[in-house]
Structure 1
């Protein structure tokens, strides 16, 4: 047998034993999608293929663009995966031009004789690094152009990612291939509506998960899992994220209906939420899924004002903001006692006619059961704090005595409580104070002022104290 005949026989034998199957036309069934609130997802799908006994190439085309290729795994009964090949060279301007480097193209250019006219020139594409560079005769052209006309679509570009599994089966027939992978472009966060009752002493909480997807890949009827926590990833592993997809979310300024409760369980150092139903995730955009709700949670509102004081001479009046903080306990006794994933809390409070209006928003970190939750929802309109440095005396080289007068004015129609927090730098000693205070920690003192009456005359309530700093 001569060499050409032997090569032809070898190719025919390879084609007989190594068969390619394209499963891209079939949608993945039974997808389990676990979305982490760190911008990634783990997907497990069931793909049905028919395989012969022996070697075969199984091709999947319905693969997300944001997949992490190194994470792809596939298993099936009586089937062994010998290698996994992922390929995706998308159709982009850069990839199109890269395919024509060294070739002559038609380029539409501005007419140098007329700013409103255009001319068509033949040019050789020399480079596409950063921007196209053309050769026109003996000249090299680097500048603006209207368009480049390509004679045809170059080979080697993909409209969608492709995944090829080289498999070997001991038994022929239909198989359910379990395909799993990690992908980027998906995220979720918690969104909370906290509606305070008319009395102001209690509130109802509705927790929602806002799932966002900008991977351009849909998951219809997915078995959804939402993982809350900071899951560590190796920094060298990068996932592709589509940057050309813009998403907008409509936010209602009225309280939404209570969500259905999702099952919650601990997993490693994290928490997992299961909505208990199949959820269809769109290819682009966002979707809200109910997490849990709680009613009649005891809450209280606190006004506080913080100032940082040091051994510096300051002149004039200093205004400091007064923050409004809503406080409640994440405990069973507090009618809650649920792990609360990080997200945004929108607080609604009743107006005089009973309408629930947005009173403020606050960002909540991951909050475990038993924590006190403090939400700074805004600044007080009616209560203001002003301070004046009443004395300053340098005591030696490394010490100073500073006197302060703090004035609180209440412009509302009712008495208010307010907490004044002064952060003190260095080593300090309170020499005198006309109002009781508490040392909260090594660098903070607090004055709790109760029932600050409305100050129609503008006088207000004052606090005076002197502190010695050593540094």
Structure 2
């Protein structure tokens, strides 16, 4: 078979060209990944002659990776094989056409006023295109001009200049008839990301969550009536340069919509696959959104969090006092019991709450990573306006060496919390504590939330203040 293939190559390379366009398309499936990459499966009915054919597969994605292209014959796979394929991405434009005619003759047509002043006539003159670098240079019979004095008429379009992206495949078919061909390939220029809208209830104890998929086609080729699938997860990718690849992620605006059915979801290897329940069209240079999920009355929790300094300070040469902001967080569980339980692709969750007149107001947003079922989603929405904090080191003393290595220190701190709200709030205070530490005195119970972090829960009365004080002994 290999000997026969090599012997047939000269005939294949000189075979007559057959073109297939979107008019021949019978099915289209697009699987889009998180990283500006998509798998396209384009099925068309094409009439092939018996023997050698050069098939011009038009309207492929402009950012196709030709090395990934695979053509399958679904009708008559026996005695069907591909010898060569070329991706023609040099697209037809006036400038490209002019460049292809360097050294060739063209006709320049210009309008000349009649001697009697009554109208104008067209004058045709042959010229040779000498150059097109930083302008056009034309050689006429008696002169050379550096500007085009009229319009240029070309005798034809060169064979290697295509009107749209085309994969030219040299193949052999064992029969002459219409056959179903499937071309699959990877391409750039297609991307997706998830966006979510959460509406907090008045009491801030539940929220309604809507998920949207933002799809972007940055290419010049449309994908009409495509079966759409999305893969969420972090795929490993060989870092080969991809000519012409464009950055992914055009940010589109989210519009509030009625609740829609969820996209079908299933596990795929170590990723998750989402399938739209209907065909959709991705037009060229378009961003569109489709519904991903909808859930109502999801139990939510609000938390005020004061994060201590990024480091632990202990010293005898001065006391440290600073004002710190209190962060506002909202969290919920991605569980069926909480009316969710669907793996959530990474994206941005934007949170709204209605004001006194019933109008939805934006109250913050945060990024979430891929979140599997039964995991917690935690959002930082901003900093509290009415809850403030002041942190101060009030004491320090060294208790000397302990053994051959290390020493023992004691430090005391106070954290003042103020609440201007008309209802009490509870603030979680996280304090950095290094080494082998022990809280030996505290106004509020301390729990060890991490190896070098203490956690306090402080309730602050309405329009009042609360003072957290503690003394810690540190060995290091």
Shorter-chain TM band:
0.7 to 0.9
When the two structures are superposed, what TM-score results if normalisation uses the length of structure 2?
0.79
CA shift digits 1:277-316 (9 cap, x unpaired): 0111121121111112112211111111111341344645
1:421 to 430, 434, 444: 430
Deviation of residue 202 (structure 1)? 1.4
Answering whether residue 369 of structure 2 is matched by residue 365 of structure 1, we say yes
1:205 and 2:213 are equivalent in the alignment: no
Give the 3 Å change call, closer, same or farther, for CA 97–324 of structure 1 in structure 2.
Answer: farther
Alignment partner for residue 310 of structure 1, among 309, 312, 325?
312
Query: In the superposition, relative to structure 1, how do residues 183 and 335 fare at CA in structure 2: closer, same or farther (>3 Å)?
Result: same
Whether 1:276 aligns to 2:273 is no
Structure 1: gaps spanning 5 or more residues = 1-12, 104-123, 134-146
Aligned to 2:123: none
Quick check: 2:71–2:182 contact (8 Å CA) kept in 1?
A: yes
Q: Work out whether 1:64 is the aligned partner of 2:61.
A: yes
- Find 1:180's aligned residue among 162, 184, 188: 184
- 1:164 aligns to what? 168
Which consecutive unaligned segments of at least 5 residues does structure 2 have? 1-9, 105-129, 136-145
1:61: how far off?
Answer: 2.4
Partner Cα distance (1:359, 1:16) in 2? 64
Change (3 A) 1:319 1:88: same
Q: Pairwise mapping of residues 24-423 of structure 1 onto structure 2 (< 5 A)?
A: 24=21, 26=23, 28-76=25-73, 77-78=76-77, 79-90=80-91, 158-236=162-240, 238=242, 240-242=244-246, 247=250, 249-252=252-255, 255-307=256-308, 308-313=310-315, 315=319, 317-396=321-400, 399=407, 400-423=409-432
Structure 1 residues 264 and 239 mapped into 2: Cα distance closer, same or farther (>3 Å)?
farther
- For the 8 Å contact 1:437–1:447, the answer to whether it is kept is yes
Moved more, 229-238 or 217-226: 229-238
TM-score by structure 1 length? 0.79
Give the Cα separation in 2 of the matches to 1:17 and 1:162. 18
1:18 aligns with 2:15: yes
Task: Give yes or no for contact 2:190–2:215 (8 Å, CA) kept in 1.
Answer: yes
Note if contact 1:17-1:54 (Cα within 8 Å) is conserved in structure 2.
Answer: no
**Cα RMSD (Å):** 3.4
Separation in 1 of the partners of 2:197 and 2:257? 7
Secondary structure of the structure 1 residue equivalent to 2:337: coil
Check 1:414–1:125 CA distance in 2 against 1; reply closer, same or farther (3 A cut): same
Q: Is the CA contact (8 Å cut-off) linking 2:12 and 2:54 kept in structure 1? A: no
The Cα shift of 1:92 comes to 8.8
TM superposition shift of 1:203 = 1.5
CA distance in 2, matches of 1:225, 1:205: 22
Deviation at 1:425, TM superposition (A): 3.4
Q: Distance in 1 between matches of 2:270 and 2:249?
A: 33
Distance 2:101 2:50 in 1: 43
> How far off is 1:18 after superposition?
2.8
Matched with 1:136 is none
Cα-to-partner distance string for 1:70-100 (whole Å, 9 max, x where unaligned)? 1101011242222222232357999899979
Residue 138 of structure 1 aligns with which residue? none
Kindly indicate whether residue 436 of structure 2 is the aligned counterpart of residue 434 of structure 1: no
**Correspondent of 1:468 among 451, 467, 473:** 473
Residue 454 (structure 1) aligns with? 462
Cα–Cα, structure 1 residues 469 and 52, in superposed 2: closer, same or farther, change >3 Å?
same
Q: Report the secondary structure of 2:67's partner residue.
A: helix
Q: Secondary structure at the match of 1:70?
A: helix
- What is the deviation of 1:16? 12
Does the Cα contact within 8 Å between 1:215 and 1:242 map onto a contact in 2? no
Q: Which residue of 2 aligns with 1:115?
A: none
Distance 1:209 1:174, change over 3 A: same
CA contact (8 A) 1:223 1:278 kept: yes
Whole-angstrom CA distance in 2 between matches of 1:73 and 1:438: 60
Aligned residue for 1:171, secondary structure, equals coil
Secondary structure of 1:379's counterpart equals: strand
1:305-355 deviations in Å (ceiling 9; x for gaps): 111341344645311121111111111112211111111111122222332
Superposed CA deviations along residues 240-294 of structure 1, whole A, max 9, x for unmatched, are 3246x99562344xx4321232111111111111121011112112111111211
Task: Judge conservation of contact 1:207–1:259 (CA < 8 Å) in 2.
Answer: no
Where 1:321 maps in the other structure, the secondary structure is strand
